[in-house]
């Protein structure tokens, strides 16, 4: 952290401490950038993501990565300025223990771009010393979204994850420069493969498989577009398509705002 940013954080903390009468469990106007319109999503770049397949190159693909990391500070903002946020180890334990936990694995927090889900047994979530471990061992290679993302993971074009959650419990430091999330609720949130994010501290990314990964390499954008077009052609009445919209771009849809 450079001296200029450190002073901005300290100054924002001083103003925050004077304005906040009592420490709330949840920070106000939490967001990931200085702009007032930015959303409060937290991502884990280089999230040790891996995509594997069977040695014979058939069957489903298996994905693994970290949706967030624990005990590492990252920069967030509120209306006073920047502050450091930390997710405590074990912060998701209560939420992950729910019998009815409903969390999908999505692309860029887009609700309809789901490639796995806890409720149908295709998504597994667990905490370890590093953070929130995400496993999807049965990704359908014929799913257009899986076909779309697989070569981008392999090439390193996409190497970050994120998660959508509700803060249940947390606290400010005495100088109001750091907010620690002690418990979050992930039920009906999501874990996501994203383009960019706020948390710069997770371990290196990659795509690992046997030589049969050549089959995955065949899934380029044209293949995904072709598959989606074929699906749409079976709809009655025909679904109207916007120009260039055979595949919905990552940038369009919902980023999560957390307060």
- pLDDT tens, 81-99? 999 999 999 999 999 999 9
Assign 55 to helix, strand or coil.
Answer: coil
Cα-based distances in Å from 231 to 115, 238, 239: 16, 10, 10
Q: Which residues of the chain have pLDDT under 50?
A: 197-224, 227-228, 230-259
151-183 residue pLDDT tens:
898 888 888 999 999 999 999 999 999 999 999
- Give the span between the Cα atoms of 29 and 39, in whole angstroms: 9
The residue whose two tokens read 């030589």 is 211
Nearest Cα residue to 117 out of 129, 105, 133: 105
With contact defined as beta carbons under 8 Å apart, do 143 and 115 qualify?
A: yes
With contact defined as beta carbons under 8 Å apart, do 238 and 232 qualify?
A: yes
């Amino acid at each position: 952290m450079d001296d200029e940013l450190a002073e901005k954080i300290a100054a924002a903390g001083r103003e925050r401490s004077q304005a906040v009468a009592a420490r709330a469990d949840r920070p106000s106007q939490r967001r990931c950038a200085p702009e007032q319109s930015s959303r409060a999503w937290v991502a884990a770049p280089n999230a040790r993501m891996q995509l594997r397949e069977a040695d014979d190159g058939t069957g489903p693909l298996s994905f693994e990565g970290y949706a967030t990391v624990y005990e590492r500070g990252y920069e967030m903002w509120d209306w006073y300025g920047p502050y450091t946020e930390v997710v405590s180890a074990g912060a998701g334990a209560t939420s992950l223990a729910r019998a009815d936990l409903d969390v999908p694995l999505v692309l860029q927090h887009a609700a309809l771009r789901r490639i796995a889900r806890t409720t149908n047994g295709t998504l597994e979530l667990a905490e370890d010393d590093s953070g929130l471990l995400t496993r999807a061992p049965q990704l359908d290679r014929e799913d257009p979204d899986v076909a779309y993302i697989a070569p981008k993971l392999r090439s390193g074009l996409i190497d970050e994850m994120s998660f959508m959650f509700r803060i249940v419990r947390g606290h400010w430091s005495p100088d109001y420069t750091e907010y620690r999330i002690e418990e979050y609720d992930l039920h009906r949130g999501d874990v996501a493969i994203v383009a960019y994010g706020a948390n710069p501290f997770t371990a290196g990314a990659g795509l690992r498989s046997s030589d049969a990964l050549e089959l995955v390499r065949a899934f380029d954008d044209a293949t995904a577009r072709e598959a989606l077009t074929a699906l749409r052609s079976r709809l009655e009445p025909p679904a109207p398509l916007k120009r260039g919209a055979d595949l919905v771009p990552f940038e369009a849809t919902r980023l999560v705002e957390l307060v």
